[in-house]
């Protein structure tokens, strides 16, 4: 079935280092969303990308949607301990299909 692959599964960084997680789909996506889940918490919406080649920034976070609308990335500059958690991408195919979640990238940040 349709899948959204996300890598890496885990990432351990020193505070201040950068972090990137990647999301790939075998089919073209109509949009992609990103969520953050803190340890013991629930997913919280970060952003939605819709346009081919779109780039959006939220402070230290940069989100990209590929030109072919099959891949996306989330980049965090100069990580902080507050960035700890699991980051999920969720892709949609067409306007009626449900979101397909990637398995997430678990980020740990060493002070």
Partner 1 sequence: DGGITQSPKYLFRKEGQNVTLSCEQNLNHDAMYWYRQDPGQGLRLIYYSQIVNDFQKGDIAEGYSVSREKKESFPLTVTSAQKNPTAFYLCASSIQGSNTGELFFGEGSRLTVL
Please give the residue ranges that form the binding site for partner 1 (CB under 8 A).
Answer: 1, 4, 6, 9, 30-31, 33, 35, 41-45, 48, 50, 88, 90, 92, 95-99, 101-104
Tell me the DSSP string of the chain. ---EEEE-SEEEEETT--EEEEEEESS--SEEEEEEE-TTS-EEEEEEE-STT-EEEETTEEEEE-TTSSEEEEEESS--GGG-EEEEEEEE-TTTSPPEE---EEEEEE-
CB 100, min distance to partner 1, A: 8
**Residue (48 or 77) nearer to partner 1, CB:** 48
CB 58, min distance to partner 1, A: 14
CB 16, min distance to partner 1, A: 27
């Amino acid at each position: 079935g349709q899948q959204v692959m996300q890598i890496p599964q885990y990432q351990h960084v020193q505070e201040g280092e950068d972090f990137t997680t990647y999301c790939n789909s075998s089919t073209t996506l109509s949009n992609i969303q990103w969520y953050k889940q803190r340890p013991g918490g629930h997913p919280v919406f970060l952003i939605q990308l819709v346009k081919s080649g779109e780039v959006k920034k939220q402070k230290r976070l940069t989100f990209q949607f590929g030109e072919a609308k099959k891949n996306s990335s989330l980049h965090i500059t100069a990580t902080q301990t507050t960035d700890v958690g699991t980051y999920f991408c969720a892709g949609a195919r067409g306007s009626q299909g449900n979101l397909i979640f990637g398995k997430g990238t678990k980020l740990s940040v060493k002070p």
